[in-house]
Amino acid sequence: MTAALIPAPHVIPAPAGGTARTQRSVGPETYRRRRLAVVAVVVGLLLGLASFGRQADATPTAEAEAAEAVLVVVQPGDTLWTIARTLAPEGDVRPLVSELTEIAGGASIQPGQLLRVPGDLVD
């Protein structure tokens, strides 16, 4: 049987003044910077949460209203009545025809004309 030599761990004695942590040169300026960084992170989080809350309570913006709008491209042979019947297949379409007339800028429409119909008018 052969004996294996295991080296003894190298032990470094602790300095007389305390632990190795106190031996690092961490001055008061380092602590101030750390505190400032923590304060900046906390303020950033609070501002982010506050703005998120405002966005959740906000009324719909123009982009949101535009997303809800229905875009209709006038095809050859289309009339305001046929477009209204396509958008609202059931019920009375006369109020929708009136709204489409205002959107189109008059009673006549041209093929290729783009009509932006608000989503609340469409069934």
Q: How far apart, in whole angstroms, are the C-alpha atoms of residue 51 and residue 29?
A: 33
CATH architecture entry for 62-121? Roll (3.10)
Domain boundaries along the sequence of the chain: 28-57, 62-121
Query: 101 falls in which pLDDT band (50, 70, 90)?
Result: very high
Q: Which pTM does this prediction carry?
A: 0.47
- The contacts of residue 121 (CB under 8 Å, 6+ apart) are 87, 96, 99
Quick: pLDDT tens for 28-78: 888 888 888 988 888 888 888 777 766 655 565 555 555 588 888 999 999
Q: What is the mean pLDDT of residues 7-12?
A: 65
